[in-house]
């Protein structure tokens, strides 16, 4: 019998009082700084997010996976952390929204695994009040607060005032105001591949992040037991053996959980990637198609003129090939897509209906779809609206309220929804979907 192993690694959950405090910037700067010091760093992201993990992967040089007590699950989160600790000197977990926001929250995750919290505060418009804010963050839960990084600090004197206000909470570091912020658009950060000289910016942030070496040395390592590896239960473990799933992958279809691809491989599938933006046809060896989310609205003109891709997609759909289209993927497969400038572009038309971009958020939060194999969990986040004559086959349910969430549409072997599924939450349902079997439950 193999006994559980124990690893010692410094683990910190980076959180704040709210969004917009600089969590991602600080986490990226800290990861890059530690990597430049020769440390092995792994980063995780709390909650549903596709864009922050891309930046954090660039900063750390290692894949960034999701930790979420509901979507991913307690045991799977524990396994990911313990496995990462085997190969890392430092693990950073970027929180979502404010420390206590959501159900479950970043604080819930920290307490579940005994992970100390590193609070990021925007000190740009305050000094001594920093202490009141930090002590409230610590005591409200409470959480184990390891220290503070003050963002947008104006001067050494400013930093001293912040440090003095924290009482018994150490100031781990400071980051000055930045003349250049990480670029954003309506769904969040601009993907790293579109940011000019991003590595130069990350290196600069790492250099400007001033850490107190004495405080850092006093951070206690965490001891994580490595549990037995989670397995895909039979008969789903080989359900997709011999099947090739073609995955749309380019700037228009870039939003997916890395764990989704790992799950498909664990089910036995071979993955083949292709680019609709390059007018690539559906791969000839494909047994099923996966269109993840992304920014099709930014590339609608190119997609509308990609005649080879559109024709091959219509042919695959007519032949009954199983297709999953999530959020941006669904938008790109409708009849038409109206972008933010009001221009309407013709799409392949697999899903009857028109998509209209909006200036206001149209959907946000964790949701789950009932299937014949259990609940398939995930989330939604979009700024567009679909008007379709197709009646939904089902609706996802919002978590934790249980209210009706995103519609799930079925047109032939096409499944389309604004819902982003986290495949490992119900692998058997995912396998059935890509095999063209009935999978949606009551």
Known catalytic residues? 327
Task: Give Cα 375 to chain centroid, integer Å.
Answer: 20
Contact of 209 with 28, CB cutoff 8 Å: no
Report the DSSP pairing between strands 171-176 and 210-211. antiparallel
Task: Tell me which residue of 404, 367, 405, 409 sits closest to 387, measured CA to CA.
Answer: 409
Tell which residue, 400, 441, 13, has the closest CA to residue 222. 13
Q: Tell me the C-alpha distance between 44 and 384, whole Å.
A: 28
What are the beta bridge partners of residue 368?
Answer: 377, 397
Q: Within a 10 A sphere around the Cβ of 111, how many other Cβ atoms? A: 17
Q: How far apart are CA 247 and CA 327, in angstroms?
A: 14
SS3 99: coil
User: Which DSSP string corresponds to 326-351?
Assistant: ETHHHHHTEEEEE-TTS-EEE---SE
Which of 51, 438, 422, 33 lies closest to 204, judged by CA?
A: 33
φ, ψ at 309 (rounded to 5°): -60, -50
Distances in whole angstroms, Cα of residue 268 to Cα of each of 179, 232, 338? 48, 11, 38
User: Residue 337 has what DSSP assignment?
Assistant: E
Contact 405, 319 (CB under 8 A): no
Across 407-441, b (16+ Cβ under 10 Å) vs e yields: bbbbbebbbbbbbbbbbbbbbbbbbbbbbbeebbe
The tokens describing 364, both together, are 């946000």
Q: Do 356 and 387 contact (CB within 8 A), yes or no? A: yes
Question: Do the Cβ atoms of 237 and 266 come closer than 8 Å?
Answer: yes
Tokens of 23: 């969590």
Residue pair 175/153 in contact by the 8 Å Cβ criterion: yes
Contact (Cβ atoms closer than 8 angstroms) between residue 314 and residue 350: yes
CB 117 within 8 A of CB 146: yes
**CA angle (6 as vertex; 55, 91 as ends), nearest 5:** 15
């Amino acid at each position: 019998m193999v006994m559980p192993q124990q690893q010692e690694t410094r683990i910190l959950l980076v959180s704040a009082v709210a969004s917009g405090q600089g969590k991602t910037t600080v986490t990226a700067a800290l990861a890059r700084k530690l990597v430049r010091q020769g440390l092995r760093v792994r980063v995780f992201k709390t909650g549903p997010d596709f864009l922050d993990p891309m930046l954090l992967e660039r900063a750390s040089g290692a894949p960034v996976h999701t930790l979420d007590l509901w979507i991913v699950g307690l045991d799977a989160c524990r396994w990911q952390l313990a496995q990462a600790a085997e190969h890392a000197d430092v693990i950073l977990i970027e929180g979502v929204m404010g420390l206590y926001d959501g159900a479950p929250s970043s604080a819930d995750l920290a307490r579940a695994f005994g992970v100390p919290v590193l609070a990021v505060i925007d000190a740009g418009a305050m000094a001594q009040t920093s202490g009141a804010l930090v002590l409230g963050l610590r005591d409200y839960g409470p959480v184990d607060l390891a220290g503070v990084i003050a963002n947008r600090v104006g001067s050494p004197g400013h930093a001293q005032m912040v440090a003095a206000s924290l009482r018994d909470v150490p100031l781990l570091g400071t980051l000055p105001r930045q003349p250049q912020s990480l670029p954003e658009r309506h769904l969040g950060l601009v993907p790293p591949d579109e940011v000019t000289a991003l590595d130069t910016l990350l290196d600069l942030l790492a250099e400007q992040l001033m850490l107190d070496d004495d405080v850092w040395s006093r951070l206690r390592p965490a001891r994580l037991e490595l549990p037995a590896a989670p397995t895909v239960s039979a008969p789903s473990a080989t359900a997709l053996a011999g099947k090739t799933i073609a995955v749309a992958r380019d700037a228009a279809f870039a939003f997916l959980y890395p764990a989704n691809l790992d799950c498909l491989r664990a089910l036995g599938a071979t993955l083949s990637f292709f680019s609709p933006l390059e007018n690539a046809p559906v791969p000839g060896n494909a047994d099923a198609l996966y269109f993840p989310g992304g920014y099709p609205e930014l590339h609608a003109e190119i997609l509308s003129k990609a005649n080879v891709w559109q024709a091959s997609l219509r042919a695959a759909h007519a032949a009954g090939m199983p297709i999953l289209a999530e959020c941006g993927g669904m938008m790109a497969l409708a009849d038409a897509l109206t972008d933010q400038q009001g221009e309407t572009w013709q799409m392949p038309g697999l899903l009857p209906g028109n998509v209209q971009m909006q200036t206001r958020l149209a959907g946000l939060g964790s949701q789950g779809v009932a299937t014949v194999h259990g609940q398939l969990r995930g989330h939604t986040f979009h700024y567009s609206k679909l008007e379709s004559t197709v009646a939904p086959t089902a609706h996802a349910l919002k978590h934790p309220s249980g209210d009706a969430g995103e519609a799930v549409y079925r047109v032939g072997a096409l499944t389309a929804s604004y819902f982003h599924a986290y495949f490992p939450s119900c692998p058997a349902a995912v396998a059935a979907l890509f095999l063209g079997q009935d999978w949606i439950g009551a």
